[in-house]
Chain A
């Protein structure tokens, strides 16, 4: 079965490097932003630093 030499030369575990980059970007960019947001705004007491205080508006009854 003929193979694609450039593909075979630039693969990791059978997948081209470009595909790995897309996979990492697809998962990583949004997740990284989200983790930063969460760490900055999670309720005090768990973060242990100033961060940002999320002000709840309390029970509306």
Chain B
């Protein structure tokens, strides 16, 4: 009877959450009537929305399940992830956001390929095509993995079948994303980000108290395995330990240029909203990551014998909180999953609708027609991801391994070079994009184990940067790009020193 009542409470909380998402979707529908509205919410988003949205998007179910599990498994060593991600988010908001926003406003760009094509004066559309191929293939797999996680989360918390869990997650995400577009995505991310914040602020505190307090917790962990309290973990200061720490820090590099995160900066109302959102974004990320690691560490003292460390969050929520809160924790896990899946779906939809159909094939569709096409494309991509999730195709496992890092290695070095080096050329960008992505894939499949399991983001970034710079130096820079670069830098002004930005420039296009 108590178990039934508990399940009913969990179900009630879940239904309330899903209803909120659908309400947001339909509330946002009016703003999604044209292509700019559907893909970047008309560039009208306020600071708190873009701050929470970018963090919630960047942190998927991996934060709630994977990073807590990592804290459980390796203890303090997992704090290298916190270091990397907090630095990555801070650097993105401080150095990347404003010049990227300035450029994309001048070009009236609404996708990252829009920006790259304009910045590098690519009349061949090759950069746009390659970008679209990488984005759509990686997003399909990554979204399938999120839906897989949804199926497993429902099973863990409610005992539902895997198929039912996948279908419920997919239907809800596809409904509010296709109806409401980017505005629905951003505001639902806000709700989801606040839930994640609350969970990861509360859980470690309750966990540490349940473990007997901080001193008792550290004594318990030291008795179990002293390496849990050392920054280099059980590796010690060895090549393997350094590779592990470097890999953890490297996870944060993706925040500097992954397309699904850059879209948030593009969608900001103006530069002031970026400044306003930056502090909130960094504080939010600190709570997310520190909370996840500390939860795992506390969980290790409370539940020392777990077979699967990635179940520590459901275990702690069931043991330490009443049923109502267990329902909330299920919702938080789903929030983390959906806040990533919805952003990826919009990203892939924009790659097809805007980058391929509108810009490459010059389809004669009205703004409303393009918006409708965007919605249908969202459904189609989501349907494909749903299919792969339902059949649990083994290939998902492989694609997900290089989805996050593959996207980051393809785009981040190229975007950074275009923002900070006026000499970047189209050929350099193409070489860097393809080379970075290929390196990430080859590293995972062939080389990773030979190099102490070094995270593929690091060699991928290195190769991409070398190719962008090397090829750019032997090719001609785009016409007028240097002057435009200087103009943007003057307009934005320095990030961390006193100085005044120049007057607002006239649009160059």
Contact = CB atoms under 8 A, between A and B. Distances in A.
Decide whether A and B assemble into one complex. Answer: yes
Interface stretch (B10-18, B216-224, B451-459): B216-224
Contacts of A3: 222
Nearest to A3: B222
Interface residues of A, number: 40
Given A14-B222, A16-B229, A30-B282, A53 B80 contact: no
A31 B271 contact: no
B209 interface: no
B83 A25 contact: yes
B102 to A, nearest CB: 9
A38 B79 contact: no
Interface in A18-39: 18-19, 21-23, 25-27, 29-31, 33-38
A35 to B, nearest CB: 7
Contact of A14 (B91, B98, B218, B270): B218
B271 A22 contact: no
B504 A54 contact: no
Interface string B54-79: 00000000000000000000001001
Contacts of B80: 22, 26
Contacts, number: 135
B214 A31 contact: no
B214 A14 contact: yes
A53 B493 CA distance: 9
A47 B493 CA distance: 17
A29 B443 CA distance: 30
A52 B222 contact: no
B43 interface: yes
A52 B473 CA distance: 34
B491 interface: yes
Contact of A30 (B79, B89, B219, B503): B89
B290 A27 contact: yes
Contacts of B495: 37, 40
Contact of A31 (B43, B90, B270, B274): B90
A51 B43 CA distance: 26
A26 to B, nearest CB: 4
Interface in B482-509: 491, 493-501, 503-504
B105 A41 contact: no
B214 A52 contact: no
B4 interface: no
Nearest to A33: B90
A55 interface: yes
Contacts of A57: 105, 270-271, 504
B286 A38 contact: no
A56 interface: yes
A50 B218 contact: no
A1 interface: yes
A36 to B, nearest CB: 6
B278 interface: yes
Contact of A53 (B94, B274, B500): B500
A5 to B, nearest CB: 11
A15 B279 contact: no
A13 B216 CA distance: 9
B194 to A, nearest CB: 20
B275 A38 contact: yes
Contacts of B219: 14
B87 interface: yes
Contacts of B98: 54
B501 A52 contact: yes
A26 B230 contact: no
B272 A50 contact: no
Contacts of A58: 270
B93 interface: yes
Contacts of B503: 55
Nearest to B249: A26
Contacts of B217: 14
B2 to A, nearest CB: 37
B214 A55 contact: no
Given A15-B229, A18-B230, A27-B290, A43 B90 contact: no
Interface of B: 42-44, 76, 79-80, 82-83, 86-87, 89-91, 93-94, 98, 105, 214-215, 217-219, 222-223, 226, 229-231, 269-272, 274-276, 278-279, 282-283, 285-286, 289-290, 491, 493-501, 503-504
Interface of A: 1, 3-4, 7, 11, 13-16, 18-19, 21-23, 25-27, 29-31, 33-38, 40-43, 50-58, 60
25 contacts: A4-B226, A7-B229, A16-B231, A18-B230, A22-B79, A22-B83, A25-B83, A26-B82, A27-B86, A30-B282, A33-B90, A33-B496, A37-B275, A40-B495, A40-B496, A41-B275, A43-B272, A43-B275, A52-B493, A52-B501, A54-B270, A54-B272, A55-B501, A57-B504, A60-B43
